[in-house]
Chains A and B, each alone.
Chain A
Amino acid sequence: MSDRSEADRLKRETLFERLVRRPEIGSFIVMIFIIAALTLASDGRAFNALGTKNNIAIIAQFGIIATGAALLMIAGEFDLSIGSMIGFAGMSMAMMLKWGLPFGLGEATPFSAFIITLAMTLTLGWIIGTIVVRSGLSSFIVTLGFLFFLRGTTEVSFRLINQSTQISGLPDYKETSWFADIMGGEVFGWFYDLWFALGGNINRKGDQWVTGFDARFMWWIILSLLAYYVLSRTQLGNWIYATGDNKDSARANGVPVNKVKIGLFMFTAFCATLFAACQVFDTNTSDAAKGNLKELEAIAIAVVGGTLMTGGFGSAIGVVFGAVTVGLVANAVFFIPWIDGSWFRVFVGTVLLAAVFANERIRKRITGGI
């Protein structure tokens, strides 16, 4: 009795037990299940050369905005303006490319259009964040305001300057601009070259079928690695967790809570702008309705990935699993012709609810409730 110490009461866990207790485990299992189900139901077509590319394209789109949404949620705030920000940023870039830079600065290049747009969206993110921390209002309501404000601004600007709410037929800037190419071009061609060399990836004529992934795949990987590193290994990550867990005690310990929040609102604006840039330079088009509902999908993916609605807890790896899951289901209709596409929303709703319950269990376990 007397030589028992507090430390002995904590059971040493095996590697397997540790893995099972990780917060990402739920989203990982769901992801594996979806991959298996989709492979079977589509006779493997979902993961042939073209299927893989198309799946990755939508997964990366989801992943980019969900990473931003998740970091912000970990810090205890929401951003409902992500979707409208995507529409705004896409409009801004396409319009500059078509009609020239503002204030008579002359012709736009893809790079200058992107930089000026990014300056605007980061400013908007800063304004949103500042309003939230200064007013003490819920970010839900403040960003809901910006959801309407930005979508309306986008449509009005389109009609005033462009007469139509769509821009299409821009030249293919990927041919001439390195910047347009790293945003909208192809990456990891070696993967498909290798696949071809190994005897797959062949089209009907017997040539190489697919030549590379969409560039947003690379951006998603970079963003996810960065988010993982920041959350798990850096001071900023510690501040993000502390801010979302209990901002008063974080502040009492010297964490610059307001700066963290404002910075993360700017980060979601950055993710939305990246999303829009990849889209504009891939398709050479833009449309006032782009990004619609994306903010809700981003939040759903963050939650499916194990992020707590109440803040203070979440992981970048979980968000990756969540994006893969939701992305694959969104695409399933293309590979399983007999399925009704609306099942996508039924599925996302169900998984979302299940995830919220699972996350709540995790939170209770950590805070000693179970």
Chain B
Amino acid sequence: MTQPYMRVEKLVKKFGPFTALNEVDLEVYPGEVHALLGDNGAGKSTLIKILSGVHQQTKGDIYIEGKKQNFRSPREASAAGIGTVYQDLAINQLMSVTRNFFMGREMTTMFGHMKMDEMNQIAHDEMLKIGIDFSDPTQAVGTMSGGQRQTLAIARAIYFGAKVLILDEPTSALGQKQQMEVLKTIKRVRSRGDIAIIFITHNEIHSKLVADRYTFLALGQVIGSGSKAEIESQDIRRLMAGGAEMKDLEQELANL
């Protein structure tokens, strides 16, 4: 068994009197997709905001390659190799693919002169590696499809050193075909073998298609976790509903 790249132990997050996360454990391994599942309000976004330095935990610890490390800012998290792709993607529509790719981290020579040709080439090559052959990196992002934008944001995070790639509901706002494109992208990143992916979704089928490991959250607590082999597909459905039996839910609905 390889060592987890990142390990989270007994993480607690309180917003005043409200306990958003209660003693959450999580392990992510390089080359694996770890699906983080749970109902609305379960605490998924809160967990990844702590992992990416946006929030600080109330209690508990984060270990990177066995070393204890707690993030006080997004900058510290990204320096430790945590790359987060939020739902809004942090992409600017009016700007070109290349300008977005290098936004805030431009390659420059003296006086801030950008190495435009080199940057165009890198943006093109990095996107190609995970699945999009974009012939014109000077094209504005506004003209790209939702799936292509996801790919851009993912390629950017990887190029700038992400070892843990966190994707917050990357498929939720997309049509069928583009959802599949994003899943393919996830698979391609996975097959590199050196990057751990945390994949948040509400979609049971999507998680089954790409995940190697699962963690289920309900009301701020882990109610089930394990590798693909350990978790039966029946379990997935039950755990996603926060531990309730499907039969019970059906009954409840019927009674209305």
Contacts and interface: CB of A to CB of B under 8 A. Distances in A.
Interface in B103-117: 103-106, 108, 111-114, 116
B240 to A, nearest CB: 30
B93 A366 contact: yes
B135 interface: yes
A255 interface: yes
Given A7-B135, A10-B136, A366-B143, A245 B92 contact: yes
A312 B135 CA distance: 24
A366 B103 CA distance: 18
A278 interface: no
Interface in B142-169: 142-143, 148
B95 A312 contact: yes
Given A6-B132, A366-B93, A242 B113 contact: no
Contacts of B108: 234-235
Interface string A358-370: 0000010011100
Interface residues of B, number: 33
Contact of A238 (B90, B114, B139): B114
Interface string A241-263: 11001101110111100000000
Interface string B65-95: 0000000001100000000001011111111
Secondary structure call for the B interface: loop
B133 interface: yes
A366 B104 contact: no
Contacts of B134: 6-7
Interface in A190-247: 233-239, 241-242, 245-246
Interface residues of A, number: 29
B63 interface: no
Contacts of B104: 239, 242, 250, 253-255
Nearest to B111: A234
Contact of A249 (B89, B116, B142): B89
Name the prevailing secondary structure of the A interface residues.
helix
B13 interface: no
Given A6-B132, A242-B92, A363-B94, A368 B143 contact: yes
Contact of A246 (B92, B133, B139): B92
Nearest to A13: B136
Contact of A6 (B91, B112, B133): B133
A255 B116 CA distance: 18
B114 A233 contact: yes
A357 B113 CA distance: 34
Nearest to A12: B135
Given A10-B135, A238-B95, A245-B95, 18 more contacts: A5-B133, A6-B134, A7-B135, A234-B108, A235-B113, A241-B92, A242-B92, A242-B95, A242-B99, A246-B92, A248-B88, A249-B88, A249-B90, A250-B92, A254-B75, A308-B94, A366-B140, A367-B93
6 shortest interchain CB distances as A-B pairs:
A254-B104, A253-B104, A367-B142, A249-B90, A245-B92, A235-B112
Interface of B: 74-75, 86, 88-95, 99, 102-106, 108, 111-114, 116, 132-136, 139-140, 142-143, 148
14 contacts: A6-B132, A10-B135, A234-B111, A241-B92, A241-B95, A241-B99, A242-B95, A249-B89, A250-B92, A253-B104, A255-B104, A312-B94, A366-B94, A366-B143
